[in-house]
Amino acid sequence: MVKRWVTPIHHFRRTATRETMISGQPIREDDKVVVWYSSANRDESVFEDPFCFDIMRTPNEHLSSGFGRHFCLGANLARLGMRAAS
């Protein structure tokens, strides 16, 4: 999906609601945490050859539509539009 390559939203920020660890980094309650989609969508531990533009990539576990309870409500409509345009 092309959305992995160029995302409509570049980053998002959240506030930690409790202490936790992310990749060995301690996060305290009320710390601000930022996810940069451009970095996450090219994570070499997730994507084989992440800098190669491949519209047939499967699986394609990109974060461009968010995740969990913050998943984009319009994601399915965007997929439908991309299928119709191809």
Per-residue pLDDT, 24: 94
The pLDDT tens digits for 15-33 are 999 999 998 999 999 999 9
What φ, ψ does residue 38 adopt, rounded to 5°?
-60, -30
Closest to 14 (Cα-Cα) out of 70, 75, 72, 71: 70
Claim: this prediction has a pTM higher than 0.75: no
Per-residue pLDDT, 3: 60
